[in-house]
A and B are shown apart, each in its own frame.
Chain A
Amino acid sequence: MDLYRSGSSSSCAGKAPDQIDGLLAGAGYRVRSSELRNVAQRLERLETVMVNAPSEISHLADEVVLHNPSDLASWVDSLLSELNQPVPVPDLSDLTYAESLDPTVNTGAWMEHHTAEQHREIPQVLTAVEEDSCIQLVHVLMTCAGSVQRGEFSLARALIDEMQGLLTRVNNRCGIGKVAGYFIDALSRRLFSPQGSGLIGSAYENEILYHHFYEASPYLKFAHFTANQAILEAFDGHDCVHVIDFNLMQGLQWPALIQALALRSGGPPLLRLTGIGPPSSDGRDSLREIGLRLAELAHSVNVQFAFRGVAASRLEDVKPWMLQVGPKEAVAINFIMQLHRLLVSAPTRGSPIEAVLGWIRNLNPKVMIVVEQEANHNQPEFLDRFTEALHYYSTTFDSLETCSTQPDKALAEIYIQREICNIVCCEGLARVERHEPLAKWRSRLRGAGFKPLHLGSNAFKQASMLLTLFSAEGYCVEEDGGCLTLGWHSRPLIAASAWQAIPEPNPPLGLVDPYNNVV
C-alpha cells in the first residue's frame, strides 16, 4: 500500500517523465516516473494473484531470485509471466472480493488521476486497467440485460450501480465506454421509469436531429441517392409521375430528384409529390412549408410540380383515397427507415404491415423503395435484441467517430440514442424501431406479392463515388443480390432495395389497371 501512495503522490508532483522517482529511490528501487503507472498495475495484478492463489506461488518464495532489485518493473513482469497469470476473468465474485479488500480507497484516487492524464495525453490508447474495465462493463451489461429478461429487477438495479462505478474508470468519450454509457442509460430508464416510453421528442426536435444525422454520416445520403436513382430509372418514358414519400421530414431527398428530372432527355415530366408526416403540434403546417420550398425549387428549374401533404400519426392510418392517385400516373413509393414501424402488431389491430402492403400492391407502383437498417432488432427475446443492438450501435458509433463537424456529431449521436432507447426501453405498441435484416424483408415482401428489382450499376457507381467524398476510409458499399448495402468495415448497416408488384390475375373492383382496362 505504501507503494501506491508514493506512486500517486510522485505522479501528482508533475515531474519530468524520465526522471527516476525520488521516493522509491530512497527505498532502493530505480523506477522512472513514466513507468510508475505500469509498475503499479503489475503490482496490483501480482497482489490479486497472491491473495487468490497463495498455493501457486509458494514456490516463488524459494526459487525466485531478484537479480536486479533496482529494476522493479521487469522483475514484476517476470514474476507474472512465470505464473502465467491471464487477464483477470471478469466475474461478479471478483468484483465483490476486490471491494472487500478495499484497495479502492487508494486505487480509486489513483485511477481518477490516471484517467484524467489519459484524457490529456493519448485518448485512444487503452491501458490494461481500462481494457479490463471495458471487458467487465460489457460482461455486466449482458448480465444485467439477462436479469431484466428474467424479471429479477432488484439484481438488475444493483448491476446498474455496479456499471455506473465501472464507467468512471473508462474513457466514456469514445469507443466502448461511450456506447456502454448509452446502453446503461437506456437500461436504467427501463428499470426506474417504466411508465415512460423511452425518449420522445417533439416532431420539430426529431427533424433537427434527423438533419444533423444526415450531415454527419453518409447513411441517409446513400439512402436518398440510391432511391432517387431507382425512381429515375422507373420513371423513364412517363410523362405524369407521382411519388409517395412515407416520411417527408424536410424533404431533403427530393431536390436531387427534381433536378435529375429537369435534366432528363425528353424533358421533365409533371411531378406530383405526396408527403406523409406526423401532424405538427404547434400550429405550424410543416408539411405545407416543405411543399412550398420544393415547389419553389421546381419552379426555378422549370419542372411542373404539385405537392400534397398527408398528416398521419401512424402509418397504418394512411388510406389510399388520401393519396388521390390518378389513373395514368406512374407511381413510386418511398420507405426510408419507415417500413419497420408497421411491424408493431397487437391482437386487436391485425397486421398493419399486411394491410398497407396490400393496398400499395393494388396501386401497382412502378417501383417501391425500401431502405432499412440491417439489424435484427425485432426478436421476441429481450436479451437477443439487446445483444444485437449493442453490436450494431457500437459499429454505428465507431463510424460516427470520423465525423469532425460539431454540432453535427453530437446531435447525430442523440438521434441514434433515441433509437437505442426505443429498442431497449419500450415494449408493445411503443416499440417502433423494429428493424429486421434484408433476408427477412425479402421473404416478407415476396409473400406480400412483390418481386425484387435489381438496382443497376449506376446506383452502385454513384454510391461508391459518394463514399469517396467522405474522408473516412471505413465505409464500404456492397451489392447483395440486386440490393445495395452500406456498411462500416464490412459490417452492413443499412440496406436499400427496390420492388415491384407482381400483377394480380384479378385486380379488385373499382380500380383501373395500368393498361386502362376497367375491371
Chain B
Amino acid sequence: MVQLLEIGLANVELNLVSDKEKRLKFCINDHMDILIEILQRLDGRSLGSAACVCRLWQHITQSDMLWEHLCFHHVSPRLPSGVRPVVAALGGYRRLYMLCLRPVLSRLGLARQLSGGGGHQEVVRRVWTRHLVELSLSLFCVDYYERLGSGGGGGGRVGDASASSLMFLCKPVNV
C-alpha cells in the first residue's frame, strides 16, 4: 500500500517536472500566429516599443498588415478593398500612421477634449472618421508627390527634402 502510494507520488512528481519543463520550453517566438494576434491589439506607441524588443519582433512589426489593422480597424463602414494597393503604393500603412494618422488623431482628440466631448463623442467620432480617413489619405498622397519631386528627377527644384507640406503636423500643438 505504502509502495503504491510512493509509486503514485513519484509519478505525480515526474508529471509535475515534465509540465514544468514543458512550460519552460514554451516561447512566444515559436508561436508567431499568437504573437501577431497580440501585437494586432496594441496601440501605436506600444507597437513601436515592441519593435525594439528583438530582431524577430522588429521584423514582424515591420509587416504592414499590423499597421493596417491599427490604422483602420475602427473605421466603419469598412473601407473599400481598393484602399490597400493605393496606400501600399504611396508608402505603406506604417508610414501613413506615423506621418498622418497619429498627429491628426492626436490633434483632433485634443480639440475635442478641449471643446468638451461628452456623450455625443462616439457619434462625432463615427461621422468624422470617413472625413478623417479621406483627409489623411490626401495629405499622405501630397507627401508622396513631394518626395517624388525632391528625390527623383526633379532634383532640388521643389525645395530640399526638409520642405514637406506635412511639417505643420509635426509642430507641437497649442490647441
Contact = CB atoms under 8 A, between A and B. Distances in A.
Contacts of B132: 465
Given A462-B135, A465-B132, A471 B173 contact: yes
Interface stretch (B27-35, B64-72, B142-150): B142-150
B131 A462 contact: yes
Interface stretch (A63-71, A189-197, A254-262, A493-501): A254-262
B104 A469 contact: yes
Contacts of B141: 255-256, 258-259, 297
Contacts of A251: 145
B93 to A, nearest CB: 15
B142 A256 contact: yes
A461 B169 CA distance: 19
Contacts of A462: 131, 134-135
Contacts of A260: 134, 137-138
Interface in A450-491: 458, 461-462, 465-466, 468-471, 473
Contacts of B80: 263, 265
A214 B135 contact: no
Interface stretch (A288-296, A361-369, A441-449): A288-296
Contacts of A208: 159
Contacts of B142: 252, 255-256
Contacts of A458: 131
A300 interface: yes
Contacts of A157: none
Given A302-B85, A471-B175, A212 B163 contact: yes
Interface in B120-172: 128, 131-132, 134-135, 137-142, 144-146, 148-149, 152-154, 157-159, 163-165, 167-169, 171-172
B130 to A, nearest CB: 9
Interface in B24-49: none
Interface of B: 80, 82-83, 85-86, 89-90, 103-104, 107-108, 111, 128, 131-132, 134-135, 137-142, 144-146, 148-149, 152-154, 157-159, 163-165, 167-169, 171-175
Dominant secondary structure of chain A at its interface with chain B: helix
B169 to A, nearest CB: 6
Name, among B83, B89, B139, B168, the residue most crowded by chain A CB atoms within 10 Å (CB to CB): B168
A256 B82 contact: no
A405 B175 contact: no
Contacts of B86: 259, 262-263, 301-302
A48 to B, nearest CB: 42
Contacts of A272: none
Contacts of A221: 165
Contacts of B137: 259-260, 263
A405 B167 contact: yes
Residue from A204, A208, A250, A458 whose CB has the most chain B CB atoms within 10 Å:
A250
A250 B149 contact: yes
A412 B51 CA distance: 40
Contacts, number: 120
Contacts of A267: 82
Interface of A: 204, 207-208, 211-212, 214-215, 221, 225, 228, 250-252, 255-256, 258-260, 262-263, 265, 267, 286, 289, 292-294, 296-297, 300-302, 403-405, 408, 458, 461-462, 465-466, 468-471, 473
B108 A465 contact: yes
B145 to A, nearest CB: 4
Contacts of A252: 142, 145-146, 165
Nearest to A229: B134
B168 A469 contact: yes
A469 B138 contact: no
A425 to B, nearest CB: 28
Nearest to B104: A469
Contacts of A262: 82, 86
B175 A301 contact: no
Given A204-B157, A405-B167, 14 more contacts: A211-B163, A252-B142, A260-B134, A262-B82, A262-B86, A263-B82, A267-B82, A300-B89, A301-B89, A403-B168, A404-B171, A471-B107, A473-B174, A473-B175
Nearest to B132: A465
Nearest to B79: A263
Contacts of A301: 85-86, 89-90
- Chain A CB count within 10 A is highest, among B85, B134, B135, for B134
Contacts of A212: 159, 163
A289 B174 contact: no
A260 B139 CA distance: 11
11 contacts: A211-B159, A215-B165, A228-B138, A258-B141, A259-B141, A260-B134, A263-B86, A293-B145, A293-B152, A294-B145, A405-B167
Nearest to B165: A215
Given A256-B138, A405-B171, A465 B131 contact: yes
Given A256-B141, A289-B154, A292-B153, A297 B148 contact: yes
Contacts of B145: 251-252, 255, 293-294, 297
Contacts of B135: 225, 462, 465-466
Interface-centre pick from A214, A286, A470 (highest chain B CB count, 10 A): A470
B136 to A, nearest CB: 10
A408 B164 CA distance: 10
Q: 8 tightest A-B contacts by CB?
A: A256-B138, A300-B89, A255-B145, A259-B141, A255-B141, A471-B173, A468-B111, A301-B86
